[in-house]
A and B are shown apart, each in its own frame.
Chain A
Amino acid sequence: EVQLVESGGGLVQPGRSLKLSCAASGFTFSDYAMAWVRQAPKKGLEWVATIIYDGSSTYYRDSVKGRFTISRDNAKSTLYLQMDSLRSEDTATYYCARRAIYFDYWGQGVMVTVSS
């Protein structure tokens, strides 16, 4: 059974940093691209970043380029999202998702609140 479990969320002040993790199990992690998708409170889904299977290529939405870094450790079957220079508009539930071109499995999500 595929499982994706996010952690690392919380309350952070604007301008500070936070690092999310996603522990994967139930599949060969190194075979798949992975992604982060977020959802602001009461809002829709927004793709944040993607990393291909071996970590050699990454893709970001414009609003997080230069501030967020997606990475992975295939030996640990873990996906990361380093979030720097956080803004209030980054407040959202962040989902880790497996990419089989589309998002075929999602984690339960972790809440990030950016507020002073």
Chain B
Amino acid sequence: DIVMTQTPSSQAVSAGEKVTMSCKSSQSLLYSENKKNYLAWYQQKPGQSPKLLISWASTRESGVPDRFIGSGSGTDFTLTISSVQAEDLAVYYCEQYYDTPLTFGSGTKLEIK
């Protein structure tokens, strides 16, 4: 199974600050034939179901604010929020869809100071 490791487990920032969170996979998620990374990011706000933010490591979904930026390739990935807003309070999960079983990271909880 591909193990997804997210760090930090929690992070507290003030509104307006930049935040980065990491997701590392135990094997490469880069598919050589199409040069795509099979990595997604999800946001789960308190009491809500997860919401897809980013697919293919860096493709923002329609309607997702451009302060959310996905980057990375291979085994190392990053989600950056360029200027955190109060409504970004949530747990952020990465997921690999390169292989079955599909696996998620344990999440990074973002708290607003």
Which residues from chain A sit less than 8 Å from chain B, CB to CB? 35, 37, 44-47, 50, 59, 61-62, 95, 101-109
Contacts and interface: CB of A to CB of B under 8 A. Distances in A.
B40 A106 contact: no
24 contacts: A44-B104, A44-B105, A45-B42, A45-B104, A45-B107, A46-B104, A47-B101, A47-B102, A47-B103, A59-B101, A101-B38, A101-B55, A101-B97, A102-B40, A103-B40, A103-B42, A103-B52, A103-B95, A104-B55, A104-B61, A106-B50, A106-B51, A107-B49, A109-B49
B34 to A, nearest CB: 12
A61 B52 CA distance: 22
A95 B49 contact: yes
3 smallest beta-carbon distances between A and B, as pairs? A47-B102, A102-B40, A106-B49
A109 to B, nearest CB: 5
Contacts, number: 50
A106 B48 CA distance: 10
B62 to A, nearest CB: 10
* Centre residue among B49, B95, B104 by max chain A CB count within 10 A: B49
Interface in B15-46: 38, 40, 42, 44
Given A47-B101, A59-B100, A95 B50 contact: yes
B106 interface: yes
A107 to B, nearest CB: 6
B93 interface: yes
Contacts of B42: 45, 103
Nearest to A108: B49
B71 to A, nearest CB: 17
A66 B102 CA distance: 18
A93 to B, nearest CB: 8
